[in-house]
Structure 1
Amino acid sequence: MAVRLLKVSSVATAVFASSGFYLYSKNVDFNDLSIIRFGRAAATTAVISYDYLTTLRDVQYGTEEYWAVKSKLHRRSAERLRDLCCANRGTFIKVGQHLGALDYLLPEEYTSTLKVLHSRAPQSSMEEIRQVIREDLGQEVCFSPQGAASLAQVHKAVLPDGRTVAVKVQHPKVQRQSSKDIVVMEFLLQVVHWLFPDFAFMWLVEEAKKNMPLELDFLNEGRNAEKIADMLKQFTFLKIPKIHWDLSTKRILTMDFAEGGQVNDREYMRKHGINVNEISRNLGKIYSEMIFVNGFVHCDPHPGNVLVRKCPESNKTEIVLLDHGLYQVLNQDFRLDYCRLWQSLIKGDLKGIERYSRRLGAGDLYPLFACVLTARSWTSVNAGISQTPVTQSEDVEIRTNAALYLPQISELLNRVPRQMLLLLETNDLLRGIETILQTRASSSSFINMSRCCTRAIAR
């Protein structure tokens, strides 16, 4: 099988090389061409697959050498995947970011390597950005770059009336490329699943198919921002930038500009007198309300999308929530079962854990599901996760088990309702923030979760 894969890869490389020479002579931007993007993705998939097929073949399973070799294999494969995402940009970076957020679901070598994609998003040229603005708004806007993301980049601008706004402009080629890129990913994941039957990550493409069109519609993002601002208006510490609809289109979103430091920047918080525990507690309140009570969940809380600051007017601490393109709507039955499951996890009610895990699709994998959901060991789950603090050794154990139980985790992710997938990613992103802030598994967070669950069930 490995020899066959190598032959196919060699032929494909020759074809793409000869095609590339012709296109170079025509002065074509190679990265715009589907055949180049597909060829790059196919070549990377072939190299990674060949590496997995051959590297461990002569190493005895379970030995120290085996785990050391496998760790290096995971690392270099993750680096190849990262480089592919950076080269193909757009949808590839977005999917890579999602994978990098799955801290307790994928091997650590993958998540730590792919996390850099949040800070290595490509930038479009200033002329490309101006062209999008001219096409959509019919006017020029004076702006300065603030940051780039997988699908867009943000600029600070001053309007003629003196208001300072943030202008989010979609990368000009991403709309055209995204649907083709998803087809490429689907085909290559099917090939990988054929080579490695335990690798069943088709849910990743299914989610991309569903969510990418929504994320590329900035008018939808603006509506989400207004909807969540209204739902959570009781939280005076939460700031959702106001949308300027007269300067917004499907490719451009204009909103109030909000200063602040990233939620994982402890030094910024120290300098500005912001209490770390208060931030962690309030972030937990926001997400408990979204998940358990409203069933409308912002699913991309990586640190670049969660800012903290002292309010310029009141000097009170605020959390600024950005990037409202990716939301998960939870239906009522799912939401209430999820509430009851978390109540059982907090109390250590094993019968409740099994019952509601099965209702949520985990089946006989319910112990693994409980561990994945909480990022705690079964011993801690058994005792009630509110009763036992998280230790460094337990955290290392859970991350190690993500590599050991990858086939079972893969099966679990294919079993559970699609609503669960983005929740798992959101949980991991929030846990990552708590870990950096050193506030993970505080008693106040469990008390607030429990109250939200009780209130949601009683409604």
Structure 2
Amino acid sequence: MTSPHYRFTAHALKRYPTWTPAAKRSAHTSAPPPPRSRLQKYARRTLYTGLGIGTIWALDTNFNASAITRNIRTVHTCVRIATDYSINFTPSKSESIPQLHERVAERMYDLITSNGGLYIKIGQAMGANTAFLPKPVQDKFQSLFDDAPQVPYSVIESVFRSEFGRPPSGPDGVFEIFHEQAIASASIAQVHKAKLRGSDRWVAVKIQKPDVVRQTWWDLTTYKGVMWLYDYWFELPVFFLVDYISDHLRQELDFVQEAENARRTAEFVRADPNFAQRVHIPDVYAEYSTKRVLTAEWIDGVRLSDREAVLRLVGEKPPLPSAQPVRPLQGGAHAIMKTMVELFSAQMFSWGWVHCDPHPGNVLIRPVPGRPTQPQLVLLDHGLYVSVSEDTRRQWASVFKAMLAGDRAEVEAVTAEWGVGLGMGDLFASFALMRPVRLKGARTGPPLFPNGDATDYERGVQMKAALRNFLVDTDRMPKVLAFLLRNMRMVQGNNQSLGSPVNRIRITATYASRALAKTPNLSFAQRLRAWWHHVLFQSVMLSSDAVFFWVRVRQYLGQMFGFKAVGFEDELENMMRRTAKSTLGLEINKDMFSG
């Protein structure tokens, strides 16, 4: 017998085919809400996305030193630059290429200064050889200084508690007195003045900024990627230096290594009678130093960057009316620059241990203790050094000497070992010496620039071709040369800032030639021949002395009779700029070689 419920259900299904028990159940529930509008969906998605981005940004800012944000900024800038070049660097837009270079230079500068930290160091490393880059890029890189706002004292105190387990000062502090206001602040560290407990000795305390450590891996990884892309896209031979530069930038973050660098340099100075009194390396207090804090002897002196104060110190400018009368240092600016050029020449050619950041802010001038009229050069900041092998030192001395003697065969023999293209000796010598060089003998190899009246687009294409011909095998190029040339440019700039009181080229060449004569393991006959060649080379360099003497006389006459007369370094720079423009089509910034 069929149940009434079954008969009702069957009847209902026949009469209402779409009616089901499920429908019956839903009939007693409320109607579904109307669908959300597209605007509401987008608004909700935008809100969630914004909250997510805001959360990531806050975490990155507070716990990751803005590393992700900085790298997004880098990638964005590089994509804009690459896109701009790919669209606008064309033959049809040749007239607007100078504006393209302006935009690129501005973007690069804004990126480096916005990110700060290691980006400043990376930019300076790139800027050491900007002569091959467009003039707007040169202009921007010349204003890339290593300075930065100082971090608050609370941050410094946290570094001390992390490193020493106690604050910088106070009853249980590391120092008896610690000045909370920094006396100098750079991209990766800042310096405070302090006084040792139970002593009258004052010290300079260099503290690393905490954000730098967290940013290092991100910054160097991005730097490597960007250089690879520029090497690949624009065919610029820059990538081969990336690992070498990155390794040395990392070393600058290790203050234990910096202390060791200072100790080693001080040993070289003390062992050389020529520098034992004329140069001083501040002592480091190991018991107050860690990987992130470096404590060194406090030195009162005048920074070389303060040109007017240096000239007053040596008696070449009248003292300030309010200053106490002091006896001027003997020898004037000549004695100071002679010491500096000799010191860094000895580092390159004799010691094989080279300070790579001799900018004027890292050099102090003071009297020798106990000898108030004798000038002494104090070298600071020993974070960046390179070690030069005996073979590279010999090759560098040999090619340096040959460049000045005009010996094309020797220059091209050595540079060929370094992977430099055939016939590129003149170009290599000109930019190594920072003066126009025409080597003796016929030049071989492809022309540097076959079209002298090229458009901006054609010059760009020709420059890339010249660079490809210049560095044909980057694996063989001694990477240390990048830092040696940086060192020489800075020393040149220091000499130039004081009016070029010494013949830098002659002094450096003398050290190079003497180093070859002192090459170890020579036989008696070889040693005798090497010294004879050294004597002959000194006679060749008399022509350089004659030019230098005439320029100095002209400077003195200009001071006496009121007309403008440039110094020796300025004269070389002007010659270099004219030669670069006429033969290479390069527009070199007037401060390119100021260091």
Structure 1 and Structure 2 fold alike (TM over 0.5) = yes
Change (3 A) 1:47 1:225: same
Which residue number in structure 2 is paired with residue 159 of structure 1? 196
Pick the aligned partner of 1:218 from 232, 238, 255.
Answer: 255
Which residue number in structure 2 is paired with residue 293 of structure 1? 350
> What SS class does the counterpart of residue 139 from structure 1 fall into?
coil
1:76 matched to 2:114? no
- Assess if the C-alpha contact under 8 Å between 1:263 and 1:303 holds in 2: yes
Aligned counterparts of 2:430 and 2:49: Cα–Cα separation in 1: 45
- Assess if the C-alpha contact under 8 Å between 1:289 and 1:452 holds in 2: no
Pick the aligned partner of 1:371 from 412, 427, 430.
Answer: 430
Sequence identity percentage? 29
Change (3 A) 1:248 1:327: same
Aligned counterparts of 1:287 and 1:419: Cα–Cα separation in 2: 15
- Assess if the C-alpha contact under 8 Å between 2:60 and 2:67 holds in 1: no
Aligned counterparts of 2:67 and 2:190: Cα–Cα separation in 1: 23
Query: Which has the higher mean CA deviation after the structures are superposed, 135-144 or 340-349?
Result: 135-144
1:343 matched to 2:376? no
- Assess if the C-alpha contact under 8 Å between 1:153 and 1:171 holds in 2: yes
1:117-162 CA distances to partner (integer Å, 9 max, x unpaired)? 3243343222111111121122332123111122211111122223
1:266-318 CA distances to partner (integer Å, 9 max, x unpaired)? 21112111522222211111011111011111111122212223345322211
Aligned counterparts of 1:403 and 1:251: Cα–Cα separation in 2: 46
1:47 matched to 2:80? yes
What value does the CA root-mean-square deviation take over the aligned residues? 3.0
Which residue number in structure 1 is paired with residue 266 of structure 2? 229
- Assess if the C-alpha contact under 8 Å between 2:101 and 2:137 holds in 1: yes
Q: Shift in Å at residue 406 of structure 1?
A: 5.8
* Structure 2 gaps, min length 5: 1-47, 169-177, 315-328, 442-458, 522-595
* Structure 1 gaps, min length 5: 1-14, 384-400
1:259 matched to 2:264? no
Change (3 A) 1:16 1:299: farther
Change (3 A) 1:55 1:278: farther
Query: Which has the higher mean CA deviation after the structures are superposed, 288-297 or 311-320?
Result: 311-320
Aligned counterparts of 1:259 and 1:404: Cα–Cα separation in 2: 51
Greater relative contact order structure (CA < 8 Å, 6+ sep): 1
Aligned counterparts of 1:356 and 1:246: Cα–Cα separation in 2: 46
1:125 counterpart letter in structure 2:
P
Q: Given the two structures, how large is their TM-score scaled by the length of structure 2?
A: 0.65
Which residue number in structure 2 is paired with residue 10 of structure 1? none
User: Within 5 A, what are the aligned runs for 1:34-183?
Assistant: 34-57=67-90, 59=92, 61=94, 66=95, 69-102=96-129, 104-141=131-168, 142-143=178-179, 144-160=181-197, 161-183=199-221
Aligned counterparts of 2:403 and 2:278: Cα–Cα separation in 1: 29
1:433 matched to 2:470? no
How many residues are aligned here?
A: 420
Q: Shift in Å at residue 54 of structure 1?
A: 3.0
2:351 counterpart letter in structure 1:
N
Change (3 A) 1:283 1:244: same
Aligned counterparts of 2:432 and 2:60: Cα–Cα separation in 1: 51
> Which structure has the greater CA radius of gyration?
2
Q: Shift in Å at residue 116 of structure 1?
A: 3.2
Q: Which has the higher helix share?
A: 1
Aligned counterparts of 1:140 and 1:113: Cα–Cα separation in 2: 40
Aligned counterparts of 1:338 and 1:443: Cα–Cα separation in 2: 15
> What SS class does the counterpart of residue 236 from structure 2 fall into?
coil
Aligned counterparts of 1:156 and 1:126: Cα–Cα separation in 2: 13
Q: Shift in Å at residue 26 of structure 1?
A: 6.7
User: Within 5 A, what are the aligned runs for 1:342-421?
Assistant: 342-364=400-422, 365-379=424-438, 381-382=439-440, 405=463, 408-409=466-467, 412=471, 414=474, 416-421=477-482
Q: Shift in Å at residue 102 of structure 1?
A: 2.7
- Assess if the C-alpha contact under 8 Å between 1:82 and 1:114 holds in 2: yes
Q: Given the two structures, how large is their TM-score scaled by the length of structure 1?
A: 0.82
Aligned counterparts of 2:240 and 2:51: Cα–Cα separation in 1: 35
2:430 counterpart letter in structure 1:
C
